[in-house]
């Protein structure tokens, strides 16, 4: 008996998984939030408090990433749209709450800024009576060392955590974790701004710097809030991603594509997944469908992944045959005893060659003799009798054809190629 030894795939430790990386990020943010908000309130610093709330938003954002990773693993082909809607509603609530927080931070910074000029402060409070009272920042050596230590360690922790998240995200192929790692790296820059403000106020007593840089922190808070809120809002509305024209141009270059039926739908689900639903016309059949689907998904995926914030795609393609396009074309011609030939004017017409086309291919050609040679009335009577869609002339602007074109009940056009004449047994004159 042959024994086959199998080796189980080792499960990586939790700290090397995407969820583990996000949990570590949450822990370091939680410590920052507790210290920044508590110490910021003690020294009455809206800049430090604002940075603390900014970190609180990062915790909520990391939770959304963990939820997205978990939902994705529940179904290999992607989680249902309804579950994605729950994720989107969560981001809307988080984004809206953070916007309100950013507005409150900005209000306190504005109060502190105008308080540096008593005349301006008195004038503003004269017509805006609901402004909160100004509470100056407490300046003391102990606060200088406490705040500079806190912000310096925060900057270092953000850079280290960012590098860790990006590395784990790339190893586990979780683009959402990589994106969150880049967001953590951006937070370090905000903390650097706050550190500069601490030094300016506590060391050099530049009180206005606290509130001016606090407004900078407010801007980053509002920017983060908008980045969280907008994708969720667009998902709920199923708003178009605006790349339909680029996708159309790309799929038209794929061999085997005859056209696109109806309208294409593109929208976002969750924070980082894009959906495309499209119906493509093709004449390919059988196994060639698989090759065409692979090529179409590849070009559509390329366009969707160019959208900022998109880490995954879900593409639904329906293949169908194009509708049978049939057309009946009439060719006025003359019979010289051997073959039908095209004519320069209606007075030389002896026959009408009626050709049936399907998908631009000639299926049948039938000649009909006129009751009276060169008679415009006879030509029009035959055209009506055989329900012709169009009339093809070698030169519709030639002698006599202008008047005939005005009388014709159907469009008159120049014959597109010699192939029609040859296939119908009608050589050019």
**Greater pLDDT, 338 or 63:** 63
Position 350 pLDDT exceeds 80: yes
Q: What per-residue confidence (pLDDT) applies to 427?
A: 44
Q: What per-residue confidence (pLDDT) applies to 398?
A: 62
Neighbours of 102 (CB within 10 A): 24
Integer Cα distance of 176 and 165 in angstroms: 10
Enumerate the CATH 3.30.420.130 domain ranges in the chain, comma separated. Answer: 326-423
Give the pLDDT mean for 65-84.
Answer: 64
Asked if 392 contacts 330 with a C-beta cutoff of 8 angstroms, the reply is yes
Give the pLDDT mean for 188-212.
Answer: 85
pTM given for the model: 0.56
Q: What per-residue confidence (pLDDT) applies to 429?
A: 41
Enumerate the CATH 3.30.70.1350 domain ranges in the chain, comma separated. Answer: 244-320
Give the pLDDT mean for 336-341.
Answer: 79
Q: What per-residue confidence (pLDDT) applies to 422?
A: 43
Give the pLDDT mean for 67-86.
Answer: 62
pLDDT tens readout for residues 305-330: 998 878 778 899 999 887 766 778 88
Q: What per-residue confidence (pLDDT) applies to 175?
A: 67
Question: 39-48, 78-87, 143-152, 252-261: which range is least confident on average?
Answer: 78-87
Position 296 pLDDT exceeds 90: yes
Task: Tell me the fold of 244-320.
Answer: Alpha-Beta Plaits (3.30.70)
Backbone angles phi, psi at 92, to 5 degrees: -65, -45
At 415, the pLDDT band (50, 70, 90 cuts) reads: low
Instruction: Decide which of 3.30.420.130, 3.30.470.160, 3.30.9.10, 3.90.550.10 is the CATH code for 326-423.
Output: 3.30.420.130
Q: What per-residue confidence (pLDDT) applies to 375?
A: 80
pLDDT tens readout for residues 124-180: 878 877 777 777 777 777 888 888 999 999 999 999 999 999 899 888 877 678 878
């Amino acid at each position: 008996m042959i024994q086959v030894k199998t080796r189980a795939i080792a499960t990586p430790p939790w700290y090397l998984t995407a969820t583990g990386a996000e949990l570590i990020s949450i822990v370091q943010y939680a410590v920052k939030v507790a210290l920044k908000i508590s110490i910021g309130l003690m020294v009455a610093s809206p800049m430090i408090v604002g940075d603390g709330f900014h970190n609180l938003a990062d915790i909520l954002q990391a939770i959304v990433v963990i939820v997205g990773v978990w939902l994705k693993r529940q179904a290999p082909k992607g989680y249902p749209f309804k579950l994605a809607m729950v994720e989107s509603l969560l981001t809307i609530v988080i984004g809206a709450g953070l916007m309100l927080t950013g507005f409150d931070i900005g209000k306190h910074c504005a109060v502190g800024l105008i308080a540096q000029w008593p005349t301006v402060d008195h004038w503003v409070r004269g017509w805006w009576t609901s402004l909160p009272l100004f509470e100056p920042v407490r300046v003391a050596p102990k606060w200088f060392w406490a705040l500079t230590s806190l912000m310096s360690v925060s900057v270092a922790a953000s850079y280290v955590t960012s590098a860790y998240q990006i590395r784990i995200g790339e190893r586990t192929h979780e683009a959402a974790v990589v994106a969150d790692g880049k967001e953590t790296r951006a937070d370090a820059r905000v903390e650097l701004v706050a550190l500069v403000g601490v030094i300016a106020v506590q060391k050099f007593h530049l009180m206005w710097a606290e509130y001016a840089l606090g407004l900078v922190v407010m801007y980053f808070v509002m920017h983060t809030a908008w980045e969280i809120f907008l994708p969720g809002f667009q998902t709920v509305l199923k708003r178009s991603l605006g790349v339909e024209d680029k996708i159309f141009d790309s799929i038209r270059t794929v061999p085997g594509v005859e056209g696109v039926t109806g309208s294409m739908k593109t929208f976002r689900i969750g924070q980082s997944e894009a959906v495309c639903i499209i119906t493509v016309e093709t004449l390919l059949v059988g196994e060639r469908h698989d090759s065409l689907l692979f090529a179409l998904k590849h070009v559509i995926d390329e366009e969707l992944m160019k959208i900022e914030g998109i880490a995954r795609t879900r593409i639904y393609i329906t293949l169908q045959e194009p509708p049978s396009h049939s057309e009946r074309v009439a060719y006025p011609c003359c019979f010289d005893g051997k073959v039908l030939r095209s004519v320069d004017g209606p007075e030389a017409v002896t026959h009408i060659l009626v050709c049936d086309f399907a998908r631009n291919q000639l299926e049948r050609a039938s000649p009909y003799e006129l009751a009276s040679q060169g008679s415009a009335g006879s030509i029009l009577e035959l055209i009506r009798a055989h329900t012709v869609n169009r009339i093809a002339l070698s030169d519709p602007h030639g002698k006599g054809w202008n008047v005939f074109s005005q009388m014709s009940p159907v469009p008159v056009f120049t014959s597109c190629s010699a192939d029609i004449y040859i296939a119908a047994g009608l050589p050019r004159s």
